[in-house]
Amino acid sequence: MHLQTLSEFDFHPRLASVPGVSLVLFTAPDCGSCRVWLRFLETYSSPLVQNGYIVDVQIATALAYEYDVFHLPSLFLFVDGKFHAPLHAEALPASLHQAIADTLSHAPQEEP
């Protein structure tokens, strides 16, 4: 999956402009688990996800606050540019695929 970086200034407009399912990873350079997720997502492919993004919380602190990011890494799903839900999974292909499918099968949650 090709991961694009989002900032506080382009987060909402860019997500709003892309159709399909977007996976957003909130991360930080000094987070070891985040590096594992980044390496994993760079090789991950799924027909369920059309777009992949990363947000560096050390730079985009307002976004981290807006989405109540207190633990890293944090994953969120957006559908057609709208918040759908946080995502909880292990950095394993089957685990992530199942978590995405399960999350998409439920109604969208309220945005934090």
9-54 pLDDT, tens digit each: 999 999 999 999 999 999 999 999 999 999 999 999 999 999 999 9
2-26 exposure pattern, b = at least 16 Cβ within 10 A, e = fewer: ebeebeeeebeebbeeeeebbbbbb
> What is residue 74's three-state secondary structure?
strand
Evaluate whether 96 touches 90 at the Cβ level (below 8 Å): yes
Q: Which CATH number fits domain 3-104: 3.30.70.270, 3.40.30.10, 3.10.180.10, 2.40.50.1020?
A: 3.40.30.10
This prediction's pTM: 0.95
Cα dihedral 97→16→1→36 (10° resolution): -70
The domains of the chain are located at: 3-104
* Banded pLDDT at 65 (limits 50, 70, 90): very high
Provide the pLDDT for residue 57.
97
Task: Report the distance separating Cα 41 and Cα 77, nearest Å.
Answer: 14
- Quick one: pLDDT band at residue 73, thresholds 50, 70, 90? very high
Confidence of residue 107 (pLDDT cuts 50, 70, 90): very high
Distance CA 68, CA 83 (A): 13
